[in-house]
């Protein structure tokens, strides 16, 4: 039962990155996306993924593999579309 709760939590928290990712790539506007937050999130997820591998925890591995892909895509979008940001 704990594995199912962990997988459900993983799906919800990981998929929370999707709206930001979709908006970022549709609008190419990254001004409101913090680069520091995106880097910290991606690095944090990477270490959770490593930890999941070390303890052989399927929900941690699943969530953080997916999270790493999504947060990495947000980070890449932030870096690519940064040139579209308006300077104030």
Tell me the pLDDT of the chain (88 aa) as tens digits. Answer: 887 887 788 888 888 999 999 998 898 888 888 899 999 999 999 999 999 999 998 888 988 999 999 999 999 999 988 877 665 5
CATH of the domain at 64: 1.20.1280.290
Residue span of the structural domain in which 40 resides: 2-84
Residues 6+ apart with CB under 8 A from 50: none
In this prediction, residue 33 carries a pLDDT of 87
How many structural domains are present in the chain? 1
pLDDT of residue 41: 94
Two tokens, residue 1: 């039962």
Please report the pLDDT score of residue 86 as a whole number: 62
């Amino acid at each position: 039962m704990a594995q199912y709760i962990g997988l459900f939590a993983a799906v919800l928290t990981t998929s929370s990155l999707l709206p930001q990712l979709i908006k970022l790539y549709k609008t190419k506007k990254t001004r409101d996306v913090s680069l520091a937050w995106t880097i910290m999130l991606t690095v944090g997820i990477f270490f959770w993924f490593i930890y999941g591998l070390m303890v052989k925890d399927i929900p941690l591995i699943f969530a953080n593999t997916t999270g790493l892909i999504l947060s990495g895509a947000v980070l890449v979008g932030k870096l690519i579309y940064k040139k579209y940001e308006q300077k104030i």
